[in-house]
Amino acid sequence: MKIVCKKSNLVSGVQTVSKAVPSKTTMSILECILVDTRNGEIKLTANDMELGIETVIDGEIIEKGMIALDARIFSEIVRKLPDNDITITTNDSYMTTITCEKAKFNIIGKPGDDFSFLPEIERNDSVMVSQFTLKEVVRQTIFSIADNDNNRLMTGELFEISNDTLKVVSLDGHRISIRKITLKNSYADKKVVVPGKTLSEVSKILSGDMDKDVNIYFTDRHILFEFDRTIVVSRLIEGEYFNIDQMLSSDYETKVRINKKELLDCIDRATLLVKEGDKKPIIINIMDGSMELKMNSTMGSMDEEIDISKEGKDLMIGFNPKFLIDSLRVIDDEEVDLYMVNPKAPCFIRNAEESYIYVILPVNFITVS
């Protein structure tokens, strides 16, 4: 095999697929990136058996072939070469020569036939969404997936399609994030759980361009994202997702409308008094016309009031400040509505259309007079 391509193209391609190279594996071939030119295009592939990424880059193919190269070494070499054309040549014994200007590296590759190719996914009946929308909906929900494997379903996000609506849900046992978006077309009903890692990596690769689309394909076990000249294939998380509707309620005893930026900035300031790892609640006292926020820790105390519009009863309630910050940061509205029942019931942050719903469980606290 022999190819010539611009450094920028190669670096971009290698960075894209490297997201699917496992950090730990007993199979050395999975630590490689496959360079495959047999079909007249330069295709780079990485696969950790749960997530696989394949992308095509521009360049000249002088001699067709394929080779699997150690991802770490290959990535570091191409990244540190001069900004010029790079030539990659392999011989029958898998010795690979990488040259650029006066720099020359020889590294030993592995047979491409040994590589674990991506599963074949039939690309029928795709769901189309803009790159911007998919990137946004992941950003607005990914923070509330669970970060451990105690319940695998909580490490993924529910993608539920009904007619022309896509609902994305994540939860970790302490909070729920829900986003609903209207699709350009109507589709058959679909309900799958996509690993959080997959969505996080897809989001990093997406350009976020409103005018560029992503085609999403589903099988019983896999999901495939196709955009630009890249495909991402991932296993789905099997199992029945939680009955979210059962956890949602429209009942409330107290409704607060508040300036989102003021509330976010106030909570952010309060966390200055919390050491990393400490679980100190922020205590919110809701009264007519104002909301008082208090934080007490070993480092000191903080007290601040914000003007609000209130319906219903006065209420004192405590929350993990991080959970409030995570939700408020991804809401674009200038004002937000908070719905609460009592100090032990969840708080709902939602808009009138319910295109977003954030549910946060309160925490117990002791008031000191």
* pTM greater than 0.85: yes
Closest to 323 measured CA to CA, from 253, 273, 264: 264
Verify that 282 and 190 share a domain, yes or no: no
Q: Residues 177-229: pLDDT tens digits?
A: 999 999 989 999 999 999 999 999 999 999 989 999 999 999 999 999 999 99
Q: Contact 196/149 with Cβ under 8 angstroms?
A: no
pLDDT at 26: 84
Q: Are residues 132 and 240 in the same domain?
A: yes
- Whether 198 and 95 map to the same domain: the answer is no
CATH number for position 101 = 3.10.150.10
Instruction: Select from 91, 114, 137 the last residue of a domain.
Output: 114
Tokens at 46, concatenated: 């990485």
List, for residues 306-355, the tens digit of each pLDDT value. Answer: 999 999 999 999 999 999 999 999 999 999 999 999 999 999 999 999 99
Q: Is it the case that residue 368 has pLDDT exceeding 70?
A: no
Among residues 245, 272, 290, which one ends one of the domains?
245
Question: Is residue 120 in some structural domain?
Answer: no
In terms of residues, how long is the chain?
369
DSSP annotation of 334: S
Q: How far apart are CA 148 and CA 360, in angstroms?
A: 19
Is the same domain home to 204 and 297? no
Q: What per-residue confidence (pLDDT) applies to 102? A: 95
Q: Both 184 and 271 in a single domain?
A: no
Whether 125 shows a pLDDT value over 60: the answer reads yes
Query: 114-136: buried (b, 16+ CB within 10 Å) or exposed (e) per residue?
Result: ebbebeebeeeebbebbbbbbbb
From 218, 245, 272, the end of a domain falls on 245
Q: Which residue has the higher pLDDT, 78 or 367?
A: 78
What is the predicted pLDDT for the residue at 177? 98
Strand pairing category for 309-312 and 254-259: antiparallel
Domain span including residue 288? 249-360
- pLDDT the model gives residue 367: 62
Q: How many structural domains is the chain composed of?
A: 3
Query: Does position 305 have pLDDT exceeding 60, yes or no?
Result: yes
- CA–CA gap between residue 257 and residue 197 (Å, rounded): 35
Residues 94 and 140 in one domain: no
Distance CA 30, CA 70 (A): 9
177 lies in the same domain as 224: yes
Nearest to 55 by CA among 86, 80, 28, 20: 20
Q: Residue 99 to residues 10, 11, 62, 85, 156: CA-CA distances in angstroms?
A: 13, 14, 15, 9, 42
Query: Which residues are within 8 A (CB) of 189 and not within 5 positions of it... i.e. 6 or more apart?
Result: 161, 162, 163
Residues 234 and 266 in one domain: no
Contact 347, 362 (CB under 8 A): yes
Tokens 């008094």 locate to 273
8 A C-beta contact, residue 252 and residue 339: yes
Degrees, nearest 5: CA angle 355-328-209: 60
First-residue to last-residue Cα distance in the chain: 77
- 366 lies in a domain? no
- Using 50, 70 and 90 to split pLDDT, how confident is the model at 272? very high
CA angle, 255 as apex, 250 and 260 as ends, to 5°? 110
Is 368 within the bounds of a domain? no
User: For 139-151, how does the pLDDT look when each residue is reduced to its tens digit (9 = 90+)?
Assistant: 999 999 998 878 9
Does 343 reside within a domain?
yes
Asked if pLDDT for residue 240 goes beyond 90, the answer is yes
Do 272 and 172 fall within a single domain? no
Cα dihedral 308, 313, 314, 317, rounded to 10, equals -90
Compute the distance between CA of residue 350 and CA of residue 307 in angstroms, rounded to an integer: 19
> Quick one: average pLDDT of 361-366?
88
247: Cβ–Cβ under 8 A, 6 or more apart, which residues? Answer: 176, 346, 359
Indicate whether 28 belongs to any domain: yes
Q: Are 221 and 200 in contact (CB under 8 A)?
A: no
Q: How far is Cα 88 from Cα 187, in angstroms, rounded to an integer?
A: 45
